[in-house]
Amino acid sequence: MMKSILAILSIVLVLAGCTTNPAIDSPTEPKPLSWPEHFKTIALIDNWQANAKIAIKVNRESQTATMIWRQEKDLFDLVFSGPFGQSAIKLQGDSQSATLTLPKETPLTGPRTSELLRKRLGWELPVENAKYWILGIPSPLSKNQATLKDERLFKLVQDGWNISYTKYNKIDQHYLPAKIILTRGDVKLLIAVYKWDTELTE
Protein backbone atom coordinates (compact mmCIF):
# COMPACT_ATOMS: atom_id res chain seq x y z
CA MET A 1 0.00 0.00 0.00
CA MET A 2 2.80 2.40 0.95
CA LYS A 3 4.59 1.66 -2.34
CA SER A 4 1.44 2.50 -4.29
CA ILE A 5 1.07 5.85 -2.51
CA LEU A 6 4.71 6.74 -3.19
CA ALA A 7 4.32 5.84 -6.86
CA ILE A 8 1.24 8.07 -7.17
CA LEU A 9 3.05 10.96 -5.45
CA SER A 10 5.98 10.58 -7.85
CA ILE A 11 3.68 10.81 -10.87
CA VAL A 12 1.95 13.89 -9.44
CA LEU A 13 5.30 15.62 -8.85
CA VAL A 14 6.45 14.87 -12.40
CA LEU A 15 3.22 16.26 -13.85
CA ALA A 16 3.48 19.35 -11.64
CA GLY A 17 7.02 19.92 -12.87
CA CYS A 18 5.86 19.75 -16.46
CA THR A 19 3.15 22.35 -15.89
CA THR A 20 5.33 24.82 -13.98
CA ASN A 21 8.30 24.65 -16.38
CA PRO A 22 6.98 25.10 -19.93
CA ALA A 23 9.35 24.63 -22.83
CA ILE A 24 11.17 27.79 -23.86
CA ASP A 25 11.12 28.57 -27.57
CA SER A 26 14.54 29.03 -29.09
CA PRO A 27 15.19 32.60 -30.21
CA THR A 28 14.78 33.27 -33.90
CA GLU A 29 16.67 35.73 -36.08
CA PRO A 30 14.53 38.85 -36.62
CA LYS A 31 13.33 39.46 -40.12
CA PRO A 32 15.39 41.99 -42.08
CA LEU A 33 13.95 45.45 -42.51
CA SER A 34 12.21 46.15 -45.76
CA TRP A 35 14.13 48.34 -48.20
CA PRO A 36 12.04 51.49 -47.39
CA GLU A 37 12.60 50.90 -43.66
CA HIS A 38 16.30 50.16 -44.16
CA PHE A 39 16.74 53.25 -46.35
CA LYS A 40 14.98 55.50 -43.83
CA THR A 41 17.10 54.18 -40.95
CA ILE A 42 20.44 54.50 -42.76
CA ALA A 43 19.57 57.97 -44.03
CA LEU A 44 19.46 59.12 -40.40
CA ILE A 45 23.18 58.45 -40.02
CA ASP A 46 24.84 61.79 -40.68
CA ASN A 47 27.80 61.58 -38.28
CA TRP A 48 30.12 58.65 -38.93
CA GLN A 49 33.65 57.47 -39.56
CA ALA A 50 34.74 54.66 -41.88
CA ASN A 51 38.21 53.14 -41.72
CA ALA A 52 38.96 51.28 -44.93
CA LYS A 53 41.47 49.88 -47.35
CA ILE A 54 41.10 51.29 -50.85
CA ALA A 55 42.51 49.88 -54.08
CA ILE A 56 42.72 52.37 -56.93
CA LYS A 57 43.08 51.17 -60.51
CA VAL A 58 43.38 53.51 -63.48
CA ASN A 59 43.84 51.66 -66.75
CA ARG A 60 46.70 49.25 -65.91
CA GLU A 61 48.15 51.15 -62.98
CA SER A 62 47.12 50.18 -59.46
CA GLN A 63 47.69 51.71 -56.04
CA THR A 64 46.51 50.79 -52.56
CA ALA A 65 45.99 53.02 -49.55
CA THR A 66 44.40 53.28 -46.16
CA MET A 67 41.44 55.64 -46.07
CA ILE A 68 39.90 57.25 -43.01
CA TRP A 69 36.68 59.05 -43.89
CA ARG A 70 35.01 61.20 -41.24
CA GLN A 71 31.64 62.75 -42.03
CA GLU A 72 29.84 65.25 -39.78
CA LYS A 73 26.63 66.27 -41.53
CA ASP A 74 27.87 68.19 -44.64
CA LEU A 75 31.49 68.39 -43.49
CA PHE A 76 33.86 65.69 -44.75
CA ASP A 77 37.45 64.89 -43.88
CA LEU A 78 39.27 62.14 -45.79
CA VAL A 79 42.84 61.06 -45.18
CA PHE A 80 44.59 58.71 -47.61
CA SER A 81 47.84 57.14 -46.43
CA GLY A 82 50.09 55.25 -48.81
CA PRO A 83 49.19 55.99 -52.44
CA PHE A 84 51.70 57.46 -54.90
CA GLY A 85 54.46 57.38 -52.31
CA GLN A 86 52.78 60.08 -50.24
CA SER A 87 52.69 59.91 -46.45
CA ALA A 88 49.23 61.50 -46.19
CA ILE A 89 46.80 63.09 -48.61
CA LYS A 90 43.91 65.08 -47.16
CA LEU A 91 40.60 65.93 -48.79
CA GLN A 92 38.38 68.24 -46.77
CA GLY A 93 35.32 70.35 -47.41
CA ASP A 94 31.55 70.59 -47.44
CA SER A 95 28.72 70.65 -49.98
CA GLN A 96 30.03 73.92 -51.47
CA SER A 97 33.78 73.39 -51.93
CA ALA A 98 36.68 71.05 -51.24
CA THR A 99 40.40 71.36 -50.58
CA LEU A 100 43.03 68.76 -51.53
CA THR A 101 46.26 68.92 -49.54
CA LEU A 102 49.46 67.00 -50.33
CA PRO A 103 52.65 67.16 -48.28
CA LYS A 104 54.90 70.12 -49.16
CA GLU A 105 52.47 71.39 -51.83
CA THR A 106 50.11 74.31 -52.05
CA PRO A 107 46.53 73.13 -51.34
CA LEU A 108 44.13 72.96 -54.27
CA THR A 109 40.58 74.22 -53.81
CA GLY A 110 37.56 73.74 -56.04
CA PRO A 111 33.83 73.04 -56.08
CA ARG A 112 34.09 69.32 -56.97
CA THR A 113 36.16 66.62 -55.29
CA SER A 114 36.45 64.50 -58.43
CA GLU A 115 38.01 67.35 -60.40
CA LEU A 116 40.61 67.98 -57.70
CA LEU A 117 41.59 64.32 -57.42
CA ARG A 118 41.68 63.78 -61.18
CA LYS A 119 43.74 66.93 -61.75
CA ARG A 120 46.43 66.08 -59.20
CA LEU A 121 46.31 62.30 -58.71
CA GLY A 122 44.75 60.95 -61.90
CA TRP A 123 41.72 59.27 -60.30
CA GLU A 124 38.44 60.47 -58.89
CA LEU A 125 35.92 59.96 -56.12
CA PRO A 126 32.75 62.09 -56.07
CA VAL A 127 32.47 62.63 -52.32
CA GLU A 128 29.26 64.60 -52.81
CA ASN A 129 27.53 61.38 -53.89
CA ALA A 130 29.87 58.82 -52.36
CA LYS A 131 29.04 59.94 -48.82
CA TYR A 132 25.68 58.25 -49.47
CA TRP A 133 27.02 55.34 -51.51
CA ILE A 134 29.42 54.26 -48.79
CA LEU A 135 26.44 53.91 -46.43
CA GLY A 136 24.65 51.70 -48.93
CA ILE A 137 21.98 54.11 -50.20
CA PRO A 138 21.61 56.14 -53.43
CA SER A 139 22.47 59.83 -53.44
CA PRO A 140 19.44 62.15 -53.45
CA LEU A 141 21.30 64.54 -55.79
CA SER A 142 20.42 62.79 -59.07
CA LYS A 143 18.44 59.99 -60.66
CA ASN A 144 19.59 56.41 -60.15
CA GLN A 145 18.94 52.80 -61.03
CA ALA A 146 19.06 50.52 -58.00
CA THR A 147 19.02 46.72 -57.73
CA LEU A 148 18.25 45.15 -54.35
CA LYS A 149 19.21 41.87 -52.72
CA ASP A 150 17.96 40.78 -49.30
CA GLU A 151 16.29 44.19 -48.92
CA ARG A 152 19.64 45.98 -49.29
CA LEU A 153 21.38 47.75 -52.14
CA PHE A 154 23.19 45.29 -54.41
CA LYS A 155 23.94 47.34 -57.52
CA LEU A 156 23.59 51.03 -58.25
CA VAL A 157 24.03 53.12 -61.38
CA GLN A 158 24.23 56.86 -60.78
CA ASP A 159 25.96 59.80 -62.46
CA GLY A 160 27.92 57.50 -64.76
CA TRP A 161 29.19 55.34 -61.90
CA ASN A 162 28.50 51.64 -61.47
CA ILE A 163 28.56 50.60 -57.82
CA SER A 164 28.43 47.01 -56.58
CA TYR A 165 27.99 45.90 -52.98
CA THR A 166 29.53 42.49 -52.35
CA LYS A 167 29.44 42.35 -48.54
CA TYR A 168 27.65 43.92 -45.60
CA ASN A 169 28.38 43.81 -41.87
CA LYS A 170 25.94 44.27 -39.02
CA ILE A 171 26.79 47.47 -37.16
CA ASP A 172 24.66 48.69 -34.24
CA GLN A 173 21.70 46.54 -35.34
CA HIS A 174 21.96 47.84 -38.90
CA TYR A 175 23.69 46.54 -42.01
CA LEU A 176 26.40 48.73 -43.52
CA PRO A 177 28.63 47.96 -46.52
CA ALA A 178 31.91 46.14 -45.96
CA LYS A 179 33.01 45.86 -49.61
CA ILE A 180 32.11 48.26 -52.41
CA ILE A 181 33.32 48.36 -56.02
CA LEU A 182 32.97 51.63 -57.92
CA THR A 183 33.74 51.92 -61.63
CA ARG A 184 33.52 54.72 -64.16
CA GLY A 185 35.42 54.85 -67.41
CA ASP A 186 39.05 53.97 -66.74
CA VAL A 187 38.73 54.29 -62.94
CA LYS A 188 37.98 51.37 -60.63
CA LEU A 189 37.90 51.69 -56.85
CA LEU A 190 37.58 48.87 -54.34
CA ILE A 191 36.72 50.03 -50.83
CA ALA A 192 36.89 47.50 -47.99
CA VAL A 193 35.60 49.02 -44.75
CA TYR A 194 37.05 47.24 -41.73
CA LYS A 195 35.69 49.58 -39.04
CA TRP A 196 32.56 51.67 -38.73
CA ASP A 197 31.87 54.25 -36.06
CA THR A 198 28.34 55.59 -36.35
CA GLU A 199 26.07 57.91 -34.47
CA LEU A 200 22.36 57.59 -35.17
CA THR A 201 20.31 60.76 -34.99
CA GLU A 202 16.59 61.16 -34.89
Q: What domains lie within the chain, and their CATH numbers?
A: 35-195 (2.50.20.10)
- pLDDT over threshold 60, residue 200: no
For residues 84-97, give the mean pLDDT.
85
Phi, psi of 10 (to 5 degrees): -65, -40
- Rounded-to-integer distance, Cα 91 and Cα 122, Å: 15
- pLDDT over threshold 70, residue 105: yes
- pLDDT over threshold 90, residue 118: yes
Specify the higher pLDDT residue, 178 or 22: 178
- pLDDT over threshold 80, residue 8: no
What is the per-residue pLDDT for 103? 87
Specify the higher pLDDT residue, 93 or 199: 93
Closest CA to 179 of 34, 53, 3: 53
- Rounded-to-integer distance, Cα 50 and Cα 54, Å: 12
- pLDDT over threshold 70, residue 62: yes
Specify the higher pLDDT residue, 82 or 162: 162
For residues 115-136, give the mean pLDDT.
95
Return the number of other C-beta atoms located less than 10 Å from residue 89's C-beta.
Answer: 22
- Rounded-to-integer distance, Cα 67 and Cα 52, Å: 5
What is the per-residue pLDDT for 15? 38
What is the per-residue pLDDT for 172? 82
Which H/E stretch holds residue 169?
Answer: strand 161-171
With beta carbons less than 8 A apart as the criterion, state whether 73 and 87 touch.
no
For residues 142-169, give the mean pLDDT.
97
pLDDT band for 32, please (50, 70, 90 cuts). confident
Mean pLDDT across the chain: 85
Lowest mean pLDDT among 13-27, 96-110, 165-179: 13-27
What is the per-residue pLDDT for 85? 56
What is the per-residue pLDDT for 83? 63
